[in-house]
Amino acid sequence: MISSSFSVKENSYCQYSKFRVGCSLLCEDGTIFNGTNVENASYGLTICAERSAICTAVSQGHRKFKAIVVSRCDQDKFTYPCGACRQFIAEFGLDIDVYSTRPDGSYERGTICELLPFSFGQSDVI
Ligand SMILES: [Zn+2]
């Protein structure tokens, strides 16, 4: 999944920020969906790679995810999903593993629960 997140990063549409992001999402059944960030001249319409991958998976009928791998730009540091994406990932389970990678293939891991403590979720609205 780390290599696929690197590959899909090449498809990033980031002409404004030049901040390339690739993401690979592992479903419970082993299926992997990829996503990349898609920017827009109206900046607020930009969608992150994580949400891109999740929307693709959900639209194909998948709802149970085990892990998500994020490959950001070419920075030599670990970065994690933005707040909006953390909320989006948490919608599908607080035990989803989130991996952040560096260009050398090294990674760090945390659960979405660790990245989004005291989260707002389904039990708050149902
Ligand atoms: Zn995001």
CA of 89 from ligand 1 middle (Å) equals 10
Inter-residue contact 21 to 70 (CB < 8 Å): yes
Catalytic member of 10, 28, 50, 91:
50
The 10s digit of each residue's pLDDT in 5-22 is: 999 999 999 999 999 999
pLDDT digit string, tens, across residues 52-101 = 999 999 999 999 999 999 998 777 889 899 999 999 999 999 999 999 99
DSSP one-letter code for 45:
G
Ligand 1 center–CA 87 separation, angstroms: 9
- pLDDT tens-digit series, residues 104-120: 999 999 999 999 999 99
Q: For the chain, how many structural domains are there in total?
A: 1
d(C-alpha 22, C-alpha 101), whole Å: 10
Q: Structural domain of residue 63, as residue ranges?
A: 2-125
- Dihedral class, residue 55 (left if φ above 0, else alpha if ψ from -120 to 50, else beta): alpha
Count of positions (residues) in the chain: 126
pLDDT of residue 14: 96
114 catalytically annotated: no
Q: What separation in Å is there between the alpha carbon of 85 and the centre of ligand 1?
A: 4
Looking at residue 119, which CATH number applies to its domain? 3.40.140.10
